[in-house]
Homo-oligomer: A and B are copies of this chain.
C-alpha cells in the first residue's frame, strides 16, 4: 500500500474538511437568503445554487477568515456575498456567450429565457450588495464594489477584443486579472477583514487570492483543450469554437509560420471551422509546446500564491491553503 502522502495528488479536501462547519452554515445562509415572492426568481436561483459548483471562492473567504481569527457570522455572510456575485457573473456570462453547458448541467439560459437570466443576475448582484451592506464594513463594501467594476470592465474588454488573434500575452493577463483573479483576491481579503485582521494579513491573503486566481484561470483555459468533457462539466473545445483567444493560442500564434497563421486566422479569427480543426489546433499547440508553456506559467503564479502566506505561522489550515495552489495547477492532469 502506498502511504507516502507525496504520491497523493494535491486536493482541496483538507481545506474543505478544516472549514466544513462554516461551509455548512454558508449553504444554509445561501438558501435562507433566497427570500423572494417571485417563483421564477426562486426557481432560477435554486437551480444555480444547487448545480454542484465547488464554492471555491466562498471557501477561500471562510479559510482566510479562519486563518486570521475565530469563525464568525460576518465571514459566513461575506462568503455568501462572494458566491452570489460569482453566480450572477456566470449567469450573465452564459447569456453573453450563449453557453449550453455549465457545471455539467444545462446552462440556465437554456432552461429559462435570456431575459429572465439577465434580470435574475441583476437581482443576485443587488442582493449581494444588500447582504454586504448588512455586514456594515465599508472596507469590505469598497473591495467588493471595486472588484465588480473591474470584473465588468474586463468582460467588456474581452468582448471588444473579440477573436483578434494578435492579442498580446500582456493584454490577456490583464483580462484574466479582472475577469477572475480579482474576485479570488476579494474573496480572501473580505474573509480577513471579517476577522479584523491586520493590514499586513489582509494584503498577504489578497496576494494569495490574486495569484491563485490567475493560476486557476490559466489552467481553466488549458483544460478547455485537454480535459475530458465529463470531468470539465462544460463542453471541451468551447473556447476554440467561440474563437476565444487564450494563452495556448497566443503562444502558438507567436510561433506560427505562414501556413499556421492562415490556419489560426481562418479557424479562430474568422470562425470558419472545418471538421478536425480543433484536433489540428491541439496538434499545433503540442508541436510548439504552448500547452506546457501555459502550464509552467500557471505554476509560477501558484508558487507566488503559496509564498505570499509566509507571514502566517505554520498550521494545518495554512498547509491546506498551500495545497490548494498545488491542486489548482494539478487539475491539469
Contacts and interface: CB of A to CB of B under 8 A. Distances in A.
Interface residues of A, number: 44
Interface string A126-156: 1101101110101001101110110111011
A223 to B, nearest CB: 24
A36 to B, nearest CB: 6
Q: How many copies does the complex hold?
A: 2
Interface in A85-134: 92, 95-96, 113-116, 118-123, 125-127, 129-130, 132-134
A126 B149 contact: yes
Contact of A41 (B37, B141, B153): B153
Contact of A125 (B115, B119, B125, B130): B125
B159 A130 contact: no
Given A95-B118, A119-B156, A148 B133 contact: no
Given A38-B160, A159-B40, A123 B153 contact: yes
Contact of A152 (B92, B114, B119): B119
A5 interface: no
Contacts of A313: none
A127 B149 contact: yes
Contacts of A119: 92, 96, 152, 155-156, 159
A276 interface: no
Contacts of A132: 145
Q: Is the interface of A mostly helix, strand, loop or mixed?
A: helix
B122 A148 contact: yes
Contacts of A121: 122
B123 A122 contact: no
A41 B156 CA distance: 7
A38 B156 contact: yes
Contact of A159 (B116, B134, B151): B116
A15 to B, nearest CB: 29
Nearest to A88: B122
Contacts of A113: 159
Contact of A156 (B40, B92, B144): B40
Given A38-B157, A40-B160, 17 more contacts: A36-B153, A38-B153, A38-B156, A38-B160, A92-B119, A96-B119, A113-B159, A114-B114, A122-B125, A122-B148, A122-B152, A123-B149, A125-B126, A129-B129, A129-B141, A130-B142, A138-B138
17 contacts: A36-B153, A37-B153, A37-B157, A38-B157, A41-B153, A41-B157, A95-B115, A96-B115, A118-B118, A119-B155, A120-B152, A122-B152, A122-B155, A126-B145, A126-B149, A129-B145, A132-B145
